[in-house]
Amino acid sequence: MPFSHHSHSGEFCSHGKDTVEEIVQTAIGKKFQVYALTEHMPREEQDLYPEEIKSAHTAATLSKQFHDYYYEALRLQKAYAPEIKLLIGMEIDWIRPSSGQIIENLLSKYHFDLFVGSVHHVHTIPIDYDRKFYLEARERAGGTDGRLFEDYFDLQWEMLKALKPPVVGHFDLIRLMSDDKDVRLSQWDGVWQRILRNLEFIAEYGGVVELNSAALRKGMKEPYPAAEICKEFLAMGGNFTLSDDSHGKDQVGTNYGKLLDFVKASGLSTLTYFEKNVATKDDRFPGVSSKSVTILNIKEHPFYF
């Protein structure tokens, strides 16, 4: 059964395309059985992206947009229930310590099925937006990719400790704008020890790391996270799920064939997905729980034919 736990639209995201309903219809057409809607959380005024500023967005308009997204997602979840299991959530953005309270307020205000825990900024600068921003963040970190990577994984550590996200988003996103997108992170001891620390904590609290195919459509040889990271997390008993991180209907399920080949090559035999209306011990998300499916069962699904 194909599934994705991370998606965006042009309706509620300035760098996406198409409406949420068009994306849901595309997922149904591609025979997805579980699809998570996870628009970006609203950010503070100082953290607006260039296209948001150009569109005259403010922190207030982003909050209103997110509110509208949530209730549209509820409508779609009910309307398409006979055809697909939609999960409603958000992708959070841990920028600074004060991000934690903003996120907790959103979790209290809205009834989410799950959320994706991500880091897109280091030293409050976007590290996946463009090369110019990336270089600015790198300079502030000390001038090298290695130092910036250390700071990224330290910030991720703060986010993990504070929130224990059920799904950890694009674990090694920091690779995207670096000098070498396919760099072996284990070459830097300081970086690698931070990665192992973070993975151990995720495995300990039962978080699920997404295998995110967006890296492949952005020209990287491996998805997020890279194989060396996957092998370490697997050895710790960690669980993985699939995400397309789509930002439009044409990206729904993109590169899932390659992603599944990567999964098999990495030694994974099962994947995890979330499902609604199943009893769970997680008091924050009482309407969902995780289930496992074998790679063989996934490969036999009509999506892959």
Mean pLDDT for the stretch of residues 289-297? 86
* Predicted local distance difference test score (pLDDT) of residue 45: 93
Token match 């789509």: residue?
Answer: 246
* Residue 289 banded pLDDT, cuts 50, 70, 90: confident
Work out the angle at residue 224's Cα, subtended by the Cα atoms of residues 269 and 35, and round it to the nearest 5 degrees. 70
- Per residue in 12-41, pLDDT (tens digit) is 998 889 999 999 999 999 999 999 999 999
pLDDT surpasses 50 at 305: no
Using omega within 30 degrees of 0 as the cis cutoff, is the peptide bond preceding 126 cis? Answer: no
pLDDT surpasses 90 at 295: no
pLDDT surpasses 90 at 107: yes
Domains of the chain: 3-304 (3.20.20.140)
- Per residue in 170-219, pLDDT (tens digit) is 999 999 999 999 999 999 999 999 999 999 999 999 999 999 999 999 99
* Predicted local distance difference test score (pLDDT) of residue 175: 98
Distance, C-alpha 273 to centroid of its chain: 14
Q: How many other CB atoms are there within 10 angstroms of residue 291's CB atom? A: 14
pTM: 0.95
Note every long-range contact of 227-230, with CB atoms under 8 Å and residues 24 or more positions apart, other chains counting: 227/262, 227/265, 227/266, 228/184, 228/185, 228/186, 229/171, 229/172, 229/185, 229/195, 229/199, 230/266, 230/268
Mean pLDDT for the stretch of residues 110-120? 97
| Contact predicate 37/20, CB 8 Å | yes
- Dist CA 90 CA 8 (whole Å): 9
Note every long-range contact of 289-294, with CB atoms under 8 Å and residues 24 or more positions apart, other chains counting: 290/208, 290/239, 292/239, 293/1, 294/269, 294/270
Beta strands in 2-50 (DSSP E): 3-4, 34-40
| Contact predicate 186/141, CB 8 Å | no
Mean pLDDT for the stretch of residues 246-270? 94
Helical ranges in 80-188 per DSSP H: 99-109, 131-141, 145-163
